[in-house]
Copies of this chain bind each other. A is one copy, B any other.
């Protein structure tokens, strides 16, 4: 059996953050999109862990920074990051998570642990194709898929309640 995915094992999370920021800079350059300081800071905050973060949590962190931000500041930054495929919104949690497939065209599928809150984003081609098939079977043209799975991650199955 293969190794657990990143969120499920100890890892150097600073490397996750650095990578995400580097990717973001590259992608924004390609898109001619401006990754301004606020946007970059919001992305960094979103990436502070593999747990999704609410908009008002981001707002709170910005305030701790000494940056006196209002909700629109955060929502606009999040919109920008979503537009550029750098973060995803988790509808079932009203929260946001850094995309681990930035730059790749993909349909995210999110495994959300109800015990530790960590989220793993997967691309599952077979799932995507079955979803399209099911929709097509009803004559429906699928454009955007929300696929969020709540449950227990491997760590929390073994040892409930840890971080």
Q: How large is the interface on A (under 10, 10 to 19, 20 to 34, 35 or more residues)?
A: 35 or more
Contact in complex: A140, B126 (CB < 8 Å): no
Which stretch (A25-33, A39-47, A63-71, A141-149) binds chain B? A141-149
A163 at the interface (CB under 8 A from B): no
User: Which of B122, B124, B146 is A147 in contact with, Cβ under 8 Å?
Assistant: B146
Binary contact readout A114-126 vs B (1 if CB under 8 angstroms, 0 otherwise): 1000001010101
Contact in complex: A150, B143 (CB < 8 Å): yes
Which stretch (A11-19, A52-60, A74-82, A152-160) binds chain B? A152-160
In the complex, the 8 A-B pairs of residues with the closest C-beta atoms, listed nearest first: A139-B154, A124-B134, A91-B91, A143-B151, A146-B148, A144-B150, A142-B151, A141-B152
Q: List 29 A-B contacts (CB under 8 A).
A: A91-B91, A91-B148, A111-B135, A111-B140, A111-B142, A120-B140, A122-B134, A122-B138, A126-B133, A126-B134, A127-B127, A127-B130, A135-B149, A138-B154, A139-B157, A140-B149, A140-B152, A140-B154, A141-B152, A141-B157, A142-B149, A142-B150, A143-B151, A143-B152, A144-B149, A145-B148, A146-B146, A146-B147, A146-B149
